[in-house]
Chain A
């Protein structure tokens, strides 16, 4: 079983990105944006803190697919930046909001999504058959199905935060 896509905080890969990311933010004077730190106990989640500041550069999407799937891809990104009425309109930044009682977990007929006691939701990619029930269940459309027919969902690793040039994204600690 691959413990790769969890809804809560810890991350399997891309630690290096975090360190660098922090530098980047600090050096840019990017304010108090909290950056992901690997910590098994703390629950952190990605938050779209300032959606109205988005410039639609897609750097976050490329970061997510690059770091988590080793691809340059929009499809493999768990964060999605959508245009609403073309570039003249506002951008919408869509991510998994880490629900307390995740409907995606309930919807999956194959048990590919599983909520653990510590609050994490584990995604078992090999069990996923791409039926799309999870994607359907999530009204904010934070889950999509990639070209290999597997679900793509944010694991709240925080890697994208460092690549947003406009401070749209933050990691926040979650109380439960």
Chain B
């Protein structure tokens, strides 16, 4: 097992490697270790965009060794909500880190002028990036591919103009089609003058107990390629949810004013797969291949001259830049996705911010004076494209406020009842009921993937659940994901990695744990994340839940604020927070 953490200091332009057995023994890897590194490295109260705030990356003990163990975690202080910033991305980064020999990566300080970091095994170079500053995230990939070594085994992660200009929800693009999307890692890169990181390595991993390893490997591989759950990601992909949620009244539409969308069929996964899907690709060492790439063909002259763009799409993007903005055509939606890719913005946050602005304009809270004449209206793709550019360029107070997120915008202009964020993070695409809302409020990073409240709601739609049952399910999920995210697996394969199989997989690579050990660890990891959150000022009792959630019918009917209150009380009790 590797236990090596690579520290890079951008102020001093130096790097060193340290073995951190202590951390990996106790915290396994992935998010468990990354959270500890964040607690160590980030001074209390540090400005998230100052050189004092670090960036941490981590992989886990199963990285590159098992199918779908493809994720890298990023931990940082979020410039969007000022507390725990955590995000996961697939692609080839985890494999590249593993073969470069680093299980953790800590970036300190800030560069004086634009730079990028090139990591090749233990060799670290901080290189000048002046000539690529300002270039779209999509294009930076092509450029660095030419100048850097390691074809086929490397990973290139980079920001776009959005991150450079510190849009608080800018993300980091990983290998063209995957992202550290949520909570503003892109802005943290930007604040450090860090445009990109290229990682490649030539090490390999000797497999300790070969037969045991191969047995569990084969079992997992087989299950991953066969299960129905996988079928969903692999065939239509996550966009299969568009039609499903639409039918069950859970598809947020026009800023959550509706929970079903009359044009859902147009932007559905089925329609996209039938008429736009060009191909599917996969993260390194994942046989699922859920990454769906659509082809947007637009003609730019009357003489059959076309522009072809290849754009990866997923459910959350279709919600955020499709139904939630009332966008009725796949072309319009794909174009908006591409705009976010170029600028390097998180699509969910961007969509929610634009949806708020559209409604605010509609209700007269803001006027075209603020929008600088940009007509923000549902399905108004042209206007949205212009607005995205202006959010990045920030030509006036209004757009620079939008660049700080929907909470900042509603604090400044009003309309908090329909500013769709929880814990300061713009919400993902579900209006399924109380478990989703509550799960977002308490989740460590206020993301739908913290505890998947939407799937608890879905279960409740079939057979009603009591608030106790929902809370227990959320807690169990919160804790279990802390462990899974320490391995680190893709959440799409979570069903395949049962506790027994995780124990066996770890054992096969020499890490003996029991199911109980893992359960306790999950709880501890959760607590540690809350330690960081509380330290940085997060206060659950001040949760601001937008009224809109209670005004629009959800999958389980109208949601009653009292249910959320009750769940909150039970939750505190269960977590022994008194």
| Closest B residue to A87 using CB positions | B176
**Cβ A87 vs Cβ B281 within 8 A:** yes
Among the stretches A1-9, A75-83, A105-113, the one at the interface with B is A75-83
**Cβ A59 vs Cβ B285 within 8 A:** yes
Q: In the complex, what distance in Å separates the CA atom of A73 from the CA atom of B99?
A: 8
**Cβ A55 vs Cβ B205 within 8 A:** no
From B141, B202, B280, contact of A55 by CB (8 A): B280
* A87-B286 in contact given A28-B225, A74-B153, A165-B225 (Cβ < 8 Å): no
Candidate in B204, B222, B288 with the most chain A CB atoms within 10 angstroms: B204
**Cβ B152 vs Cβ A165 within 8 A:** no
**Cβ A24 vs Cβ B281 within 8 A:** no
B65 at interface by CB-CB < 8 Å: yes
Complex interface: chain A residues within 8 A of B207 (CB): 66, 70-72
**Cβ B175 vs Cβ A147 within 8 A:** no
| Closest A residue to B152 using CB positions | A82
Q: In the complex, what distance in Å separates the CA atom of A55 from the CA atom of B512?
A: 34
From B65, B205, B225, contact of A24 by CB (8 A): B225
Q: In the complex, what distance in Å separates the CA atom of A55 from the CA atom of B176?
A: 15
- Mask, B209-238, CB within 8 Å of A = 1, is 010001001100110011000000000000
Q: How far is the CB of B412 from chain A (nearest CB, A)?
A: 39
Residues of chain B at interface, number, CB under 8 A: 41
Q: In the complex, what distance in Å separates the CA atom of A62 from the CA atom of B220?
A: 14
**Cβ A72 vs Cβ B64 within 8 A:** yes
**Cβ B285 vs Cβ A58 within 8 A:** yes
From A56, A73, A82, contact of B205 by CB (8 A): A73
B145 at interface by CB-CB < 8 Å: yes
Q: How far is the CB of A25 from chain B (nearest CB, A)?
A: 10
A99 at interface by CB-CB < 8 Å: no
Q: Which of B40-86 contact A (CB under 8 A)?
A: 64-65, 67
**Cβ B204 vs Cβ A76 within 8 A:** yes
Q: How far is the CB of A157 from chain B (nearest CB, A)?
A: 15
Q: In the complex, what distance in Å separates the CA atom of A80 from the CA atom of B577?
A: 54
Q: In the complex, what distance in Å separates the CA atom of A16 from the CA atom of B225?
A: 19
Q: Which of A81-100 contact B (CB under 8 A)?
A: 81-83, 85-88
Q: In the complex, what distance in Å separates the CA atom of A72 from the CA atom of B284?
A: 12
From A20, A74, A86, contact of B218 by CB (8 A): A20
A166 at interface by CB-CB < 8 Å: yes
A139 at interface by CB-CB < 8 Å: no
Complex interface: chain A residues within 8 A of B177 (CB): 87
Residues of chain A at interface, number, CB under 8 A: 35
| Closest A residue to B214 using CB positions | A66
Q: How far is the CB of B76 from chain A (nearest CB, A)?
A: 25
- Mask, A49-60, CB within 8 Å of B = 1, is 000000111110
Q: How far is the CB of A163 from chain B (nearest CB, A)?
A: 7
Q: In the complex, what distance in Å separates the CA atom of A74 from the CA atom of B100?
A: 12
From A57, A73, A147, contact of B284 by CB (8 A): A57
A10 at interface by CB-CB < 8 Å: no
Complex interface: chain B residues within 8 A of A82 (CB): 151-152
Q: In the complex, what distance in Å separates the CA atom of A55 from the CA atom of B288?
A: 9
Complex interface: chain A residues within 8 A of B141 (CB): 86
Q: In the complex, what distance in Å separates the CA atom of A53 from the CA atom of B186?
A: 33
**Cβ A75 vs Cβ B202 within 8 A:** yes
**Main SS of chain A's interface residues?**
mixed
Q: In the complex, what distance in Å separates the CA atom of A16 from the CA atom of B226?
A: 20
**Cβ A62 vs Cβ B285 within 8 A:** yes
* A88-B176 in contact given A59-B285, A71-B204, A83-B152 (Cβ < 8 Å): yes
Q: In the complex, what distance in Å separates the CA atom of A67 from the CA atom of B211?
A: 10
* A163-B142 in contact given A57-B284, A74-B99 (Cβ < 8 Å): no
Complex interface: chain A residues within 8 A of B176 (CB): 86-88
- Mask, B281-310, CB within 8 Å of A = 1, is 111111111000000000000000000001
Q: In the complex, what distance in Å separates the CA atom of A67 from the CA atom of B217?
A: 11
- Mask, B192-206, CB within 8 Å of A = 1, is 000000000011111
**Cβ A147 vs Cβ B204 within 8 A:** yes
Complex interface: chain A residues within 8 A of B288 (CB): 57, 165
Q: How far is the CB of A97 from chain B (nearest CB, A)?
A: 20
Q: In the complex, what distance in Å separates the CA atom of A142 from the CA atom of B107?
A: 38
- Mask, B100-113, CB within 8 Å of A = 1, is 00000000000000
Complex interface: chain A residues within 8 A of B310 (CB): 88
**Cβ A59 vs Cβ B226 within 8 A:** no
- Mask, A23-54, CB within 8 Å of B = 1, is 11001100000000000000000000000000
Q: In the complex, what distance in Å separates the CA atom of A72 from the CA atom of B65?
A: 6
Q: In the complex, what distance in Å separates the CA atom of A57 from the CA atom of B234?
A: 13
* A58-B284 in contact given A74-B99, A83-B151 (Cβ < 8 Å): yes
* A57-B283 in contact given A71-B205, A87-B177 (Cβ < 8 Å): yes
Candidate in A59, A65, A163 with the most chain B CB atoms within 10 angstroms: A59
Candidate in A62, A71, A72, A147 with the most chain B CB atoms within 10 angstroms: A72
From A55, A70, A71, A73, contact of B282 by CB (8 A): A55
Complex interface: chain B residues within 8 A of A70 (CB): 206-207, 210
Q: In the complex, what distance in Å separates the CA atom of A16 from the CA atom of B282?
A: 27
From A20, A57, A67, A81, contact of B286 by CB (8 A): A57
From A57, A62, A86, A88, contact of B289 by CB (8 A): A57
**Cβ B284 vs Cβ A163 within 8 A:** no
**Cβ B289 vs Cβ A55 within 8 A:** yes
- Mask, A146-165, CB within 8 Å of B = 1, is 01000000000000000101
From B145, B152, B202, B205, contact of A72 by CB (8 A): B205
Q: How far is the CB of A41 from chain B (nearest CB, A)?
A: 28
Complex interface: chain A residues within 8 A of B280 (CB): 55
| Closest A residue to B289 using CB positions | A55
Q: How far is the CB of A69 from chain B (nearest CB, A)?
A: 9
Q: In the complex, what distance in Å separates the CA atom of A58 from the CA atom of B279?
A: 16
From A56, A66, A147, A166, contact of B217 by CB (8 A): A66
Q: How far is the CB of A121 from chain B (nearest CB, A)?
A: 25
Q: In the complex, what distance in Å separates the CA atom of A16 from the CA atom of B286?
A: 22
* A57-B282 in contact given A20-B218, A74-B99, A74-B153 (Cβ < 8 Å): yes
Residues of B within 8 A of A (CB): 64-65, 67, 91, 95, 99, 141-142, 145, 151-153, 175-177, 202-207, 210, 214, 217-218, 221-222, 225-226, 279-289, 310
List 8 contacting pairs A-B, 8 Å CB cutoff, sorted by A: A28-B226, A57-B287, A59-B221, A72-B205, A74-B153, A86-B142, A86-B145, A147-B203
**16 further contact pairs, Cβ within 8 A, besides A57-B283, A57-B284:** A23-B222, A24-B225, A28-B226, A57-B285, A57-B288, A59-B67, A65-B204, A67-B214, A70-B206, A72-B205, A86-B141, A86-B175, A87-B176, A87-B177, A163-B221, A165-B288
Residues of A within 8 A of B (CB): 16-17, 20, 23-24, 27-28, 55-59, 62, 65-67, 70-76, 80-83, 85-88, 147, 163, 165-166
Top-5 shortest CB links A-B: A73-B204, A57-B282, A165-B287, A55-B289, A72-B205
